[in-house]
Amino acid sequence: MGKKMEHLYSGGCDHIQSHADNEPFDIHICHCSVCKRATGQDTTHIVLFNHFDLTVENLEGLNRQSFNDQNPDGPLELCTCAACGTPIMLDDKQQRVRAIVPNLMGHDTARLPATYHAFHDPASGVPKPDDGLPVYEGFHPDFALPDPA
């Protein structure tokens, strides 16, 4: 029997595993309305990987639905386990990124700390976060999506 390889980051559910052996290119705490609607959380810890850096075993075992209910033809799909309903990843139909929400997708949140707050809207009445991380009204200024694969 061969030894099971340990991955740098791993998660998923009992039916579908996800893993990455490369570092994500962006980790932030999102304050946008789309994430709030999709997760039911006030803020969402988002980890973005280059599309092919996050491997998902058993892709055929995923149900896919639009991530943004107000833009159903948008590029991001929420992928959930067809067997148990656990969210596994956000998949980009343009193959630029795959994203995880560690606390909802079986990954170790502590190993993937956020580096900034994104999409904080001062007009929302939500106080500006004061945890020491930079706060932006969008992505951080150097953010760029990778080219499609």
- What confidence score (pLDDT) does residue 2 get? 46
Strands (E), the chain: 9-12, 17-20, 26-30, 44-50, 54-56, 62-66, 76-81, 87-92, 97-100, 116-118
Domain count, the chain: 1
C-alpha to C-alpha distance for 146 and 7, rounded to whole angstroms: 23
Domain that holds residue 25: 12-124
- What confidence score (pLDDT) does residue 124 get? 87
Asked whether residue 52 is domain-assigned, the answer is yes
CATH number at residue 67: 2.170.150.70
Which pLDDT tens digit goes with each residue over 100-139?
A: 999 999 999 999 999 999 999 999 888 999 999 999 999 9
- Residue 1 pLDDT grade (very low, low, confident, very high; cuts 50, 70, 90): very low
- Residue 4 pLDDT grade (very low, low, confident, very high; cuts 50, 70, 90): low
Which pLDDT tens digit goes with each residue over 51-110?
A: 999 999 999 999 999 999 899 999 999 999 999 999 999 999 999 999 999 999 999 999
Asked whether residue 2 is domain-assigned, the answer is no
